[in-house]
Amino acid sequence: MKAYLLSLGAGLLVGVVYSVIGVRSPAPPTIALIGLLGILLGEQIVPVAKRLIAGHDVAGFVRTSCAAHVLGPLPGGEPTVSRTSGVGRPARSDEPS
C-alpha cells in the first residue's frame, strides 16, 4: 500500500511541475522521454550518495551498476555487470568493483 501512496504522491508532484512549466498531460513525446531519463538518473542518486558516504569507489559503481540500470542491455555487447554481482545493487566491500 505504501508504494501506491508514494506513486500517487510522485504523480501529483509531477502534475504540479507540469502545471508550473505550462506542459499539458500527457506530455509531448520529447518532454516525456526527458522526464523518464530524469527518473532513471534520479533513481541512482541514493545508491551513489550511500557509496560516497561509506567511502567506497563511486566511479566504478557508476560505470557498472548505474550504467547497466540506466542504459539496459546494450545490443551485441557484453553485459556491463555480471549476473553474480547483480544490477543496481552496490557491491559488497569484499567484492571487486
The arithmetic mean of pLDDT across residues 1-21, rounded, is 86
Asked if 54 and 48 touch (Cβ cutoff 8 Å), the reply is no
For position 58, what pLDDT does the model report? Answer: 87
Whole-number percent of the chain with pLDDT over 90: 4
- What HEC string does 16-37 produce? HHHHHHCCCCCCCHHHHHHHHH
Distance, CA of 14 to CA of 39 (rounded, Å): 11
For position 53, what pLDDT does the model report? Answer: 93
